[in-house]
Amino acid sequence: MTEHRDRAILTIALFAAFADNDKQESEREEIRRIAESLGDSEPDLRSLYQDVLLKRATLEDAVAGLEDAGEKHLAYEMAVGVCDADGRMSDAEREFLDRLKALLGMQGEESEAIEQEAEQIVELTEAAAPLALTTTAGGEAITAAQASAVPVAGVDEAELNKRILNYSILNGALELLPQSWASMAIIPLQIKMVYRIGKDYGYELDRGHIKDFLATLGVGMTSQYIEQFGRKLIGGLFRKAAGKSMGRLGRSATGVAFSFATTYALGQVARRYYAGGRTMSTELLNKTFAETLGSAKQMQSEFVPQIEQRANNLSMNEVMSMVRN
């Protein structure tokens, strides 16, 4: 029964991912890659991806596979998270959630509570880096990321590396928590980390630039959330009863927190990119990120005790305060 439930919830998550018809092809490709990487697990996310994309599966059938209120609560929670993952919700995604809510037969108070919690996390993304604009001599508005860097004194590389490691441990800890807000908080923290690295080297970055930077490296927001969600669900981390999370700490399907490696690689590539005056080509950025990610996956096992210790002491209020400050 657990596999049947997981298959239904994962199918709903994929429907949510494709609810926005404006989804970029690069993001769709990243979702496909993740589906294939999790394809050896049960349920087979790779086959689910094909069923949804080729319209062999229906939302009605997926909802019919959920039996109790806790399962339906989790399904809607995950769908809201997927739709909100990029920090905005389109009209098409809103319509999808309204349709899903009706099919699930959810009460207004329950669905509103889920949406309000998700909105709090969206605020994290908005707070992570300012939407700043500067103006050229000719009066043309440009993003701050396109402006010239402000000269800065020597950067303390040891302190910067320590900060990247701390962000990586924190995001690894968030991946080990069963609450949906934990997965949604990872991306805003990555945005903040990149913003601070850019600022260290004299760049006042805006959110649009940072999101584009992450997407260039293949760290898509929707796809990353689906990957975290898929690992948690397949790994048995989600335990729901009457809409409440059961248990405090768990392991992902593979026994390690992959968000540690992703965050660490992202931080190190950002450090090289901004230290070098943003001159790295897209090809070099992708190659460097892939190599660094491989190394980070090898080293993450060394930090499992720190990650687990951090997870045991995390609360939503603390994480939101970290981003806002």
Contact 80, 7 (CB under 8 A): no
Strand partners, 245: 240
- Each residue's pLDDT, cut to its tens digit, for the chain (325 residues) gives 477 777 888 888 888 888 877 655 656 666 666 666 655 555 566 777 788 888 899 999 999 989 888 888 888 888 887 887 766 678 888 899 999 999 999 877 888 887 777 776 666 666 666 655 333 333 333 244 443 455 566 789 999 999 999 999 999 998 888 776 777 788 888 989 999 999 999 998 887 788 889 888 878 767 777 777 777 776 665 654 334 443 444 444 344 568 899 999 999 999 999 999 998 999 999 999 999 999 999 898 899 899 989 988 888 788 878 777 7
Q: ∠ at Cα 143 (29, 152), nearest 5°? A: 105
Alpha helices in 129-202 (DSSP H): 157-175, 180-200
For CATH 1.10.3680, the residue range(s) in the chain are 2-123
pTM for this prediction: 0.75
Query: Where do the DSSP E strands lie in the chain?
Result: 133-135, 141-143, 240-241, 244-245
Question: Which of 61, 40, 306, 318 lies closest to 14 in space, CA to CA?
Answer: 61
User: Can you read off the two tokens belonging to residue 62?
Assistant: 């997926």
Cα(254)–Cα(218) distance, integer angstroms: 21
Q: How long a stretch of residues is the chain?
A: 325
CA-closest candidate to residue 132, choices 119, 121, 142: 142
Rounded to the nearest 5°, which phi and psi values hold at 134?
-120, 175
Alpha-carbon distances of 98 from 112, 119, 158, 241, rounded to whole Å = 11, 16, 49, 23
pLDDT reported for residue 227: 74
Give the Cα separation of 89 and 67 in Å (integer): 28
CATH topology of domain 2-123: TerB-like (1.10.3680)
Spatial contact of 289 and 261, defined as CB atoms under 8 Å apart: no
Question: What is the distance between the alpha carbons of residues 222 and 80, in angstroms, rounded to a whole number?
Answer: 11
